[in-house]
Amino acid sequence: MPEIEITDLTKNFGKIKALSSFNLKIDKPECVSILGPNGAGKTTLLKALTNIIKPSSGSVAINGITVSENPMKALQYVGSLVEQPEFYPYLTGREIIEFAARVKGASKSRIKDEMEYLVELLSMSDYINRKTGTYSRGMKQRVCLGVALVMKPEILILDEPTFGLDPRGMKEVRDLINNLRLQKSSIILMSTHLISEAKEVSDRIIIVDRGRKIYDTTNEDNRNILKITLEEPIDKNLNLNANEQVSIKILGDQAILAEMHGGISHSTALRLLVNAGLKIKWIEPYNDIEAKYLESVST
Amino acid sequence: MLTITLLVSALLSYFSFVYITKLPSLFPSFKGFFNTPGFSERLTGFLWSFVLLDLPVFASVFFGSPAISSEIETRTAFYVFPLPIPRYILLLSKYFAAVSVTIIVIMIYILVQGFVFYSIFHGIIIQAYFISMGLTILFIFSIVALTFLISTIFNKNTYAYISVFLLYFLIFNAYTIISDVLYKVVPYYLLNNSATIIERVYLNLSTGFGNSSASPYGAGTSDIISSSLVMLVYIVVSLAGALILFERKEVK
């Protein structure tokens, strides 16, 4: 079973503390998104996981192997895309991905199979044999994903994987991550600025700010909360928390949050609320992550 | 680099063919030596080898200086560093690649030198020619190692280029002049001074400020060994330093 364990990770760049006693454990195949503003420490965290930087203190372990002590062994399990890398302009996209496969110990026949699979998966057939010096940012990003995905790593580390892609490309990458997530065979740890992207593809979302983890939640929890806008102000005499299956939190005069318990469906919950006397105008999934993000991260 | 090498080779070939008979008038201070058998050959070899003190420096800076710093500057480090390749293999592969291409370029010059010698003198000073060639190769290994050490320090190619030139042509030379003038000692342990053995195997000339000397013969074995040892030390120390720095290199 793939595993990432980050213990008390601190990284200083001079006087700047990029990460401060950061702890994280992922011990089952799932997609974990790291959300945070610019300079929060998201990329620094991923760099520490991929041996691009060394921790000032603390440790990062992949499948029980400490990255800074035995990077070659630890990185065998990792496919990564960190900070939109550039490639040697005189090599083709195919050579770039094949090199990554070769250093991971792939045989010639395996490399051929992997290339066929990745070219098809990432729609790179038009340019994969061209030198990367002629690529657009989006093409390079797809080759980066090819490098990350080659040899089907147990742990996939993606730093803003949809960066530089057009809307179609962004959707394809999200679908790809979702497919990998549903296969339940690898850990996907990705950073993103986009809350919607994190919510769409993640099992777990972590918000970081100023090098610290400030919120860690499973995405599933948030699907059980609805934000409800009412037609008229709430009657304060209503006993809204009488039902154990739906708990209510008042957001304002005409808005409430309804959290469902015991696995009841949205329609059942709404029926209960209507029966309690609420006049519902509008329903939307509650963006807990967005609220938490805006509430907790520094401006 | 290849163009520069070909240009310098052509210039010296032209000089050799046109002025070979006028050497005594061009070098009146060596007048007494021209009676020594083989002196003209030795002097011509010395003049050709003079270029070999600088040409490998330019070539190694051209091929070696950006080797590591460019990985950071052009962001290819983000592709290579997360791959499971030991960094020492990356560095040594690049080092041997830079050494190989530098040797190939410089060998063109040395082979042209051999051809010119053979055409003019109907033979070459076999021993001195091959010793000079071997020492040039050793010098290339050491100067490329030094450029790699400097390249691992910086994250920008320009800084790496400039630093090698400053160190080799300014600091080493300034230190040599100061030491020579004040203490009458040429610091043999500096790479630029040990590299002079490449030309001194033809003629053991020393043109320092403090103590200049001249001999119609090449440098002796002890001179060759001590210079070679200095170059070997540069290779080992520079590569060890580069390996340690590269192993700890971070991309911020």
Say whether both A182 and A254 belong to one domain.
no
Domain C-terminal end among A173, A191, A216 = A216
ipTM of the shown complex:
0.82
Query: Does any domain span residue B212?
Result: yes
Say whether both A69 and A181 belong to one domain.
yes
Model confidence pLDDT, tens digit, residues B138-164:
999 999 999 999 999 998 989 999 999
Q: How many C-beta atoms lie closer than 10 Å to residue A23's C-beta?
A: 13
Cα of B103 to nearest chain A Cα, Å = 23
Say whether both A139 and A111 belong to one domain.
yes
Low-confidence ranges of chain B (pLDDT < 50): none
Say whether both A42 and A145 belong to one domain.
yes
Model confidence pLDDT, tens digit, residues A55-100:
999 999 999 999 999 999 999 999 999 988 889 999 999 999 999 9
Cα of A126 to nearest chain B Cα, Å = 22
Say whether both A75 and A105 belong to one domain.
yes
Query: Does any domain span residue B242?
Result: yes
Predicted confidence at residue B102, as pLDDT, reads 94
Q: Give me the percent of chain A exceeding a pLDDT of 90.
A: 49
| Spatial CA neighbour of A50 closest among A139, A148, A152 | A148
Half-sphere exposure of B178 (CA within 13 A, CB side): 6
Indicate the residue of B77, B79, B83 with minimum beta-carbon distance to A75: B83
Domain C-terminal end among A193, A216, A239 = A216
- Look up the domain containing A61 and give its range: 4-216
Query: Does any domain span residue B210?
Result: yes
Closest residue of chain A to B90, computed from CA coordinates: A103
Say whether both A211 and A231 belong to one domain.
no
Mutate to test the interface with A, among B73, B79, B89, B155 (most CBs of A within 10 A): B79
Predicted confidence at residue B80, as pLDDT, reads 92
CATH of the domain at A230: 3.30.70.1560
Model confidence pLDDT, tens digit, residues A120-141:
988 899 999 999 999 988 889 8
Query: Does any domain span residue B167?
Result: yes
- What are the two backbone dihedrals, phi and then psi, of residue A250, each rounded to the nearest 5 degrees? -85, 125
Say whether both A20 and A35 belong to one domain.
yes
Predicted confidence at residue A74, as pLDDT, reads 93
- Look up the domain containing B197 and give its range: 31-247
User: What is the domain count for chain A?
Assistant: 2
CATH of the domain at A63: 3.40.50.300
User: What is the domain count for chain B?
Assistant: 1
Say whether both A73 and A8 belong to one domain.
yes
Taking an 8 Å cut-off on Cβ atoms, the answer to whether B79 and A96 are in contact is: yes
Domain C-terminal end among A170, A190, A216 = A216
Predicted confidence at residue B231, as pLDDT, reads 95
Say whether both A22 and A165 belong to one domain.
yes
- What are the two backbone dihedrals, phi and then psi, of residue A160, each rounded to the nearest 5 degrees? 45, 70
Give CA angle at A107 (A101, A110), nearest 5°: 75
Tell me, rounded to whole angstroms, the distance of Cα A235 from its chain centroid. Answer: 41
Query: Does any domain span residue B25?
Result: no
Query: Does any domain span residue B139?
Result: yes
